[in-house]
Structure 1
């Protein structure tokens, strides 16, 4: 059979009138397309581009979340997937944790699963990878409030491939949609929102900090979010590339002090006032929301009442 033409599989953005088609279309056509050439296949293209774009349109903060999908790399995979990544946690599906649509290999249904990146765990733990994923999943579940009757703690992808078996072990919570009873667009949007809330809850719980100041529950979330942003390696690299390696408070450059040892060394500091961080609606502005600081200045600005007050830190340095 010839590969389905692009005219039949029009762009999701143009013709997909509802989100159910993101689930229905693969369930109906994936096994047929899987028997054809992978290169240039229109359904494979939609998994990589159109389906992620359609889901991304639902998200409040498109700068923070990244949606990616995969029908396989160079060849068809048994269980194609579409994942929603919080870039403050991970920018790759190979590690971290994230909500993901996982299609069963027999295409009888699809799971919306809060799951874990398996590649990194397999590489690090080898034969023990499944046990590690299961233990981590149990730990994650213990941090969430959810209705036992509504969500599954175990999934079955009907596949014997290594990744599928590890995704089954890595499942934290899941909701199953059988092919003959797919959710409405409204219901699916609601489920995606709920899983993003689970995702957010885990993100706040896995950032530890200590403070002598008592915070409300919301303030605690804001502080944890601030630290997650500041410690994000990818963001830090972008900030340094844009702003350079001279401290914006005291003008120190590590090369001047340490020679070649200090090349391209500086720390990125998130300037956005913690009180202004909106949980779940954070937009990342690399140019205006960050400063590059030497280690001493970075430590000192965190001791100030307002860690966003760069001018105040400069004034402190001048007075001393």
Structure 2
């Protein structure tokens, strides 16, 4: 039976690889877990900062959508998955790829359009894929990947497995037809899907309240008798709790869940968009910056005696070196040859 949870208003803003799956346990295990979570979020933040720099000097072409401010969503969710679970997402995908365990080298080389990129330089920023980590993209069409997620859920059930698929999307996706068709089928067929809305309030430059008749958008799941919930996306522990329950439901009961994870992007919609733009004020951005998910986790760990300032600085320096290495690797990687244009156009299924 579907659950219904009344949402309060959005939580007010007060005045080399990502995290691996680790179970909660005694104090030492909790400290180790939190350090991994912090490491994953810092890696995404420093990586994206360098991406902004690379885009500005022409190293990255095409579109580029940064994940800065939303790191608790990717890290909190993906730290709960097994290696054989699946992940699919939209075009704001760099942070999730790193959180899933893809190497910074392979992601940066893809952004640079180089042969050593995860998609051999053909996909770019919006099409990060890695079959080794079951990371199924990176999709540029708004909402186009949601039916694929339902299809993966169907395949899992058809094969008799107990994997789950986590499907990330922006809040504007809930107004597309593909979203509703996919959720209806996932609920009808009882598929192990976790549909996770990264609700950063603005679909490009349009506020949620101007685009959706329902502001508590997880309630869209009610139409399909689907479990639904919401959480504070700037609090990594809130994300882990809510998403963890959904993953367990999918794995044990093969039931889908729709989650409204309320987060905020600190950058523009893409690199072509000003940070504040004309659709949000600097004052609003400044208020949300006070709830930086990395700063919140760091403060929690310091209050609990789990990390010191010196250890944070050492970790940050280590991560900056990893990101610099990914830049150097991408810069040294050759561009794909012209004949690569004719590769992978068709798949030979007869052999």
Higher normalized contact order (CA 8 Å, seq sep 6+, divided by chain length): 2
Larger radius of gyration: 1
Shared fold by TM > 0.5?
Answer: no
Taking structure 1 as the reference length, what is the TM-score of the superposition?
Answer: 0.28
